[in-house]
Structure formats: structure tokens, C-alpha cells
Structure 1
Amino acid sequence: MEYPDLSALPAELREAVSRRGSLNVFRMIMHSPRLAPGLLEMADAILQHNSLPDQLRELAIVRVGHVYGAPYEVHHHQNIGRLVGLGQAALAAAATGSTEGLSQEEASVLRCTDRLLARHTLSDAERAEALEFLTVEQLSDLVITVGFYQLVSNFLNTFGVTTEGETSPYR
């Protein structure tokens, strides 16, 4: 799918793409100019105001990307994960779903992410396990993060978004 002509968009939308490094995902989202502002605001909130520790947030996002077969998502969030201190063992686990070698918290977040992806909810026992180390706010943010990146991955896959032509801001 071709990227929309950004020059045909209102100035505030062109600025929104530019402010985010003109990454391909943000360019492609402009096919929905009336929904894009809200989507971008939600993305910013998840990355900047999430109560989950950054490493756990990125572990969940990378797992969603792998399960959804969204290489664009995996690429960018592995890079962000490394920047925030997510280890190679956790990144490898996100690819496979195996919890071997992970901390108790990482393993629990990975299991919760997989349960949300497979069953769209957590059982009482799974919720209780997560609440042993997460606050209710953090669990809520985990569920919202997983759901949001399911949406993003569906969009990326449907529109065939790749990293072609990008220079990654996550170095």
C-alpha cells in the first residue's frame, strides 16, 4: 500500500508525523486523518505515561509483535527494549513465549500477555499472580498496552508497513 501524500494533509497532521521522526507507521496512519490524532495520543500515552516498568512494557509489546507476525513492531520495540535495559534473554523469550531464564516478573508478564492474546482475558488465578508484583494500575496498563499493540500490529500487517527508507531514532 502506498503512503498517503503528506503534503495534502492539514499542517497539524504533517507536524504530528514529523515530530515523531516520520516513521513509516505514522506516515501510513495518515490514511485515517480523522482517527490519527487520537491514535497518536494513545501511543504517546502508552510509551510515556505507562505505570509498567519500561522493560516489562517493552517485553509485552515485543511479544505481541511476534505473536501477530508484525516484524515492523518487533524491530522497533526490540530497539526500544534494549534502550530501556531489556536483556537479550527477555527479547529471545518474547520471540518464543518460553519463560526459561526470565525473572519472576518477566515470566508473569509474558504469561499474562499470551493469555490475553489467546483468551482475551485473565483467569482469577492469573490476575492474582500478576497482582503479586504489579499494582492494579500496572495490570490495567498491561492489558491496555497489549490491546493497543494488537490494533497496531493488525494495522501494520494489513498495510504492509516496513522499515524501508527509515532511519531508526532508537540507536
Structure 2
Amino acid sequence: MTPDDRPEPARIPATRSLRELGPIGWVAARAGARTVRAKRFHLFDTIGQNKLLFLTFMPYAGVLLNWGKMSKRDKELVILRVGHLRNSEYELQQHKRLARSRGLDDATQALIFEGPDAEGLTERQRVLITATDEFVVTRSMSDETWSALSTHLDRKQLIEFCLLTAQYDGLAATLATLKVPLDFPD
């Protein structure tokens, strides 16, 4: 690794301090690291320092990621596309792994990164990618794209799509701004 390849220092250093994270943040950071099979879970070690926001972030983020009306596979497609569009290495590093366990193999992930015109995507995947692209880039969605998305998602899923996409777009911005270090050396 050359000096130019080294990551920039975090703007808010991650901590493992019980005092800084509080008992819930401290436990969540350790449980998160164990869940992703990493030594540290830098996201929680960083944002956990704002205890009140972390306490509200955790359930909201957890519901968006693990429950709700959209399939976990569709959620991961959206998250991977947001991570790609925002060049969020942290999100991509975490969610490439998780997406594999949710049915998106490396070949499918490569198609997601290629974009909605990639050969081999299903119509549903094309529409989800197109909708994600428009939502992230324009902060809205054309009537045509909304109509196409509405053929694949019901009302509750459409609401969830918007909140999920916005959540991971905002998280990508937070990770980049705070310069949160990666959890894995790759």
C-alpha cells in the first residue's frame, strides 16, 4: 500500500468506549461486528457516540433492512445500486456480502452495477434500478418510472422503496462526510 492508497483519517474517530457509546451502543457495536464477522463495526462505533440519535436510528434502519413489505432481495438490489451511485465503498463492502446471502450472486451484482440496460436482468430488476437511479440523481421520479415501479410494488412497498432509498443515500453521505473507515481490509 502506497501513501496515496491509505484511507483518510476519520473526522470523528470510532470508539469502543462504553462511556462514549453508552451501554446500548456498546452492545450494538459488538453485536453488529459479530453479525458482519468483522473485528469492528465502525459505523456503530462512530454514530453510536450520539446516543439519542443512535437509539432512534437502530430500530428504523433495522426495520428497513430486515422487515417491511419489500423482499430482502429487492432491498439489497436497491442498496447496492445506491452504494454504487454514491461510490460508497463502506455500503458496498457490507452489502455485497449480505446480498449474496439474500440471493444476489456476484454475477447479478455485476449487472446491478452495470445499470438497467445490462443484459441478463429481469424486468423487475431493470425497473428497480431505473427507479433507484432517478430517485437518487433527481430526488424524484418521472411518472413513467413511477408507473413501471407500481406494476411491481404495491402501495406499502412503494412507500418503503422511497424510504429505503433515501435512508441509504443519506447514510452514504454520512459515511463519506465522517470518513468512517472500512470494516474489512479488502
Q: Give secondary structure in 2 for the equivalent of 1:150.
A: helix
Aligned-partner Cα distance in 2 for 1:30–1:6: 10
**What letter is aligned with 2:31?**
R
Q: Give secondary structure in 1 for the equivalent of 2:45.
A: helix
In the TM superposition, residue 157 of structure 1 has moved relative to its aligned partner by 0.9
**Deviation readout 1:121-171 (Å, 9 max, x if unpaired):** 11222111111121111111111111000111111111222334x59xxxx
The residue correspondences of 1:29-48 to structure 2 (distance < 5 A) are 29-48=47-66
Aligned-partner Cα distance in 2 for 1:12–1:3: 16
The residue correspondences of 1:13-162 to structure 2 (distance < 5 A) are 13-21=25-33, 22-100=40-118, 101-162=120-181
Aligned-partner Cα distance in 2 for 1:121–1:98: 17
Give yes or no for contact 2:116–2:125 (8 Å, CA) kept in 1. no
**Deviation readout 1:61-118 (Å, 9 max, x if unpaired):** 0111111111010011111111010133431133232432200101100000000011
Q: Partner residue of 2:4?
A: none
Give yes or no for contact 1:89–1:102 (8 Å, CA) kept in 2. no
In the TM superposition, residue 5 of structure 1 has moved relative to its aligned partner by 4.8
Which protein is bigger by CA-based radius of gyration?
2
**Deviation readout 1:23-75 (Å, 9 max, x if unpaired):** 11111112322211111111111112131111111011011111111101001
Give yes or no for contact 2:16–2:26 (8 Å, CA) kept in 1. no
Q: Which runs of 5+ in 1 are unaligned?
A: none
Farther-moved stretch of structure 1 (145-154 vs 17-26): 17-26
Q: Give secondary structure in 2 for the equivalent of 1:16.
A: helix
Farther-moved stretch of structure 1 (84-93 vs 139-148): 84-93
* Count of paired positions: 166
1:50/1:89 CA distance change after superposition, 3 Å: farther
Give yes or no for contact 1:68–1:153 (8 Å, CA) kept in 2. yes
Give yes or no for contact 1:72–1:156 (8 Å, CA) kept in 2. yes
Structure 1 ranges of 4+ moved more than 6 A: none
Aligned-partner Cα distance in 2 for 1:145–1:152: 10
TM-score (norm 1): 0.88
TM-score (norm 2): 0.82
